[in-house]
Amino acid sequence: MKEREKVVRLAKLAEQAERYDDMVEFMKQLARMDVDMSAEERLLFSVGFKKTIGARRASWRILESLEQKETAGEQAGVTINGYKKKVEDELRAVCNEVLSIIAIHCLPLANSGENVVFFYKMKGDYYRYLAEFSTGTEKKAATDQSLMAYQHAMVVASSELSPAHQFRLGLVLNFSVFFYEIMNSPERASQVAKQALDEATAEINSADVEGYKDSMLMMQLLKENLALWTSELSGGETSKDDDVVMEG
């Protein structure tokens, strides 16, 4: 079995066993082979890191919420803050590693519009994850890098992918979440989401769209977010702290 095929096979076995740290290690090996990833390979690469970072992001949000409920200076608050910083260090390490691999091994080899959009979106996502917990100049740098990556992906998606393409819709979904959560702009988030939905609806009703089910899922998530943001803008009862914002 060729080394590339062997690594992909091992990554799939690790995913089935829910050993995502192992899955990530195998996909890092693949990325360092400097090959333009296939659809299956890029999905494995993305899923492995997303599972790894997802648990840490969820932990950080819980700790952040707990910390806000504690009185400053009390021992419980100090303990929570210390653990939160440990999680932040882990988040930072994972994000920086992903971003380094994408910059060195993935984007330089991406030859198709799909792969370029996929990896620039992923770059935007992981800088967004950094911006979620960072402060000061670190937060601004991560925010600026995330914005630039998403914008570049949007330019390529607009010229290379149809409005109803699952990658373009997934990109818009996460880009709109960036505006809402990082830029604190439900207006801009709503504008981006609504425009994409309008364009995709016209396209998906008039053509045989590849990946139809995935596209419809992305559209549904966009609709759910748009409903939340529209309610907030119109003075509804939802608050940002209670909203469950969907992302791809």
For residue 78, the model assigns a pLDDT of 83
For residue 243, the model assigns a pLDDT of 53
Residues in the chain: 248
Distance CA 172, CA 217 (A): 13
CA 85 vs CA 49, 53, 126, 159: distances in Å: 20, 15, 18, 42
pTM summary value: 0.91
Q: Where are the alpha helices (DSSP H) in 102-244?
A: 113-133, 136-160, 166-177, 186-204, 212-233
DSSP 45-75: HHHHHHHHHHHHHHHHHHHHHHHHTSPTT-H
Per-residue pLDDT of the chain (248 residues; tens, 9 = 90+): 589 999 999 999 999 999 999 999 999 999 999 989 999 999 999 999 999 999 999 999 999 999 888 766 678 778 898 999 999 999 999 999 999 999 999 999 999 999 999 999 999 999 999 999 999 999 999 999 999 999 999 999 999 999 999 999 999 999 999 999 999 999 999 999 999 999 998 877 655 556 678 888 999 999 999 999 998 888 765 444 445 677 87
Tokens of 222: 């966009």
For residue 141, the model assigns a pLDDT of 98
